[in-house]
Amino acid sequence: MRFRLPNPRAVSHAIRDLARRSPTEAEEYLDSHTEQWEELAVEDPHDAADILEALDEEGAADLLIELDADEAGDVLDEMKPEAAADILEELPALSAATLVAEMEADQAADVIGALEPEERTAVLAELDTDAARQIQELLVHAADTAGGMMTTDVAVLPSGVTTGEAINRLRQLHDELGSNLLYVYVVDELGRLQGVISFRDLVFARPGVGLDEVMVPDPVRVYAATDREEVVELIQRYHLIAIPVVDDEDQLIGMVRFDEALEAIQAEAGEDIAVMVGAGEEESVFTPVGLSVRRRLPWIIFNLIVGFAIAAVIVQFEATLETYAVLVAFMPLVALVAGNSGAQSLAVIIRSLAVGELPPGRTGRAIRREVSIAVIDGLVVALLAASVAALTIGLLGSESNISPLEIAIIVFVSVGVAFLVAGLVGAGIPILLRKIGQDPALASNIFLTMITDIVAFGGFLATASLLLS
């Protein structure tokens, strides 16, 4: 079998889709069509990366080692660091180091950082001194900071040169910088950031003009320790395609590109979703099983405790349930709809906090808004639920020892109260967590579920007990 499609891109997509559907079949095909695999890796390293990520580590390593080192480095640059690390761990340290040496420094650091400690040490030992030093300098920075996102391959020129001289120097740096030739950063004799000029503006400037005359002075910048959320916010606010990174002495040490910022946004969103339900914020399908268990188990045990607390609330109304057993059928309904409403408020508030739309001065207004929405929704849903509950009891007739009006009142009141609390808690939990210095998404869904379930079950049974006693 050989793919014969209209163009090379269609071929690479077809093989990528095959790898996702049937990894074994794709691996066998590529093993027997090495020329096509090499051509695909050269023409479409993105698709080649997707293919390797779909295969098992051993098969992917076999395919990767068939490529020239520079081609393999391009493919590794496009892979998720954890996936690339899993593949490199299948190779001897010297082979892995040869491929890592062909990667961009920032991507290589991410992959090296994802290796197991012993493998990391072995690969670094096989790299040449300069490459190892550059990667280790990047590894010092946390992954969720500007330093952890930056690349050190930056176009840097002294302030004293002219635009014509600058272009000549950049021609010499073109092969080294590649896609990082976005902005030209101007520094003084101590390496401190003085200004920035886009490559486009530099090309169209008059040759004899000094860089200090055409550059944008004192550009927006971030420090190596700046959190990635702030980095993303600045790139978005000023419509940048890269932002410079400086040290504490204002010396230029790198830049964060727009694509890295975009990946940071995606990673932040993924972490928020994971943390909301108690999974690790950096957990992925590549995380070791033992580590995932240690991160998740405490929250599952907490959920178990919450379950016992809800059971304890229900037990307090044992006599009511014994007399009016039909109430059991309606209790989960209240918790279900209230929990859904609270989750909606929670999602809106966490998103607003994540993108910087909710400064501390507007939190009160945001909570009032969510509570208002919850009350309006609650009244509508309570009326509908009460009507259906009354109709259900009416159809049961003499089989039920509770009247349609009574069940309607119980459902209406309990649903309305549960919605009110769900809106307040859903909006309040992430804001409270931020106020005490915690991640607003920190298992917030678990706390929300705990409170809404206790209020829903407890409020329903308390209303029933008062009305039917």
Q: Cβ distance 123 to 97 under 8 Å?
A: yes
* Residue whose tokens read 């040290």: 247
Q: Are residues 362 and 395 both part of a single domain?
A: yes
Neighbours of 415 (CB within 10 A): 29
Report the candidate in 213, 464, 168 with the shortest Cα–Cα distance to residue 328: 464
pTM above 0.85, yes or no: no
User: Which CA distances in Å does 168 have to 162, 165, 203, 206, 254?
Assistant: 10, 5, 11, 13, 22
Q: Are residues 177 and 226 both part of a single domain?
A: yes
**To 10 degrees, the CA torsion angle through 443, 444, 448, 450?**
20
Give the three-state DSSP class for 198.
strand
pLDDT digit string (tens) for 446-456?
888 889 999 99
Whether pLDDT at 103 is above 80: yes
- Per cent of the chain over pLDDT 70 is 88
Query: Rounded to whole angstroms, how far apart are CA atoms 10 and 173?
Result: 34
Question: Who's near 432: CB < 8 A, 6+ residues apart?
Answer: none
Task: State mean pLDDT over 301-322.
Answer: 86
Query: Rounded to whole angstroms, how far apart are CA atoms 33 and 204?
Result: 47
Q: Are residues 63 and 136 both part of a single domain?
A: yes
- Coarse DSSP helix, strand, coil percentages of the chain, rounded to the nearest 5 percent: 70, 10, 20
Burial class (CB in 10 A: 0-12, 13-18, 19+), 12: buried
Is 266 inside a domain boundary? no
Range of the domain at 59: 8-140
Query: Rounded to whole angstroms, how far apart are CA atoms 49 and 44?
Result: 9
Q: Are residues 197 and 334 both part of a single domain?
A: no
Whether pLDDT at 257 is above 80: yes
Give the three-state DSSP class for 440.
coil
Q: Cβ distance 202 to 184 under 8 Å?
A: yes
Length of the chain equals: 469
Among 105, 140, 175, give the residue marking a domain's end. 140
Q: Are residues 183 and 313 both part of a single domain?
A: no
CATH number at residue 387: 1.10.357.20
**Whole-number pLDDT of residue 380:** 95
Query: Rounded to whole angstroms, how far apart are CA atoms 416 and 427?
Result: 17
pLDDT digit string (tens) for 350-392?
878 766 677 777 888 899 999 999 999 999 999 999 999 999 8
Among 113, 140, 167, give the residue marking a domain's end. 140
Q: Are residues 331 and 442 both part of a single domain?
A: yes
User: Which CA distances in Å does 309 have to 287, 315, 428, 445, 446?
Assistant: 32, 10, 22, 17, 14
Vertex 104: Cα angle to 98 and 107 (nearest 5) = 95
Q: Are residues 131 and 160 both part of a single domain?
A: no
* Residue whose tokens read 């204002």: 250
Whether pLDDT at 216 is above 60: yes
CATH number at residue 230: 3.10.580.10
**Whole-number pLDDT of residue 179:** 57
- Confidence band for 5, pLDDT divided at 50, 70 and 90: very low
Chain CA centroid to CA 377, Å? 31
Q: Are residues 298 and 422 both part of a single domain?
A: yes
Number of domains in the chain: 3
Q: Are residues 93 and 55 both part of a single domain?
A: yes
Among 80, 110, 140, give the residue marking a domain's end. 140
- Per cent of the chain over pLDDT 90 is 34
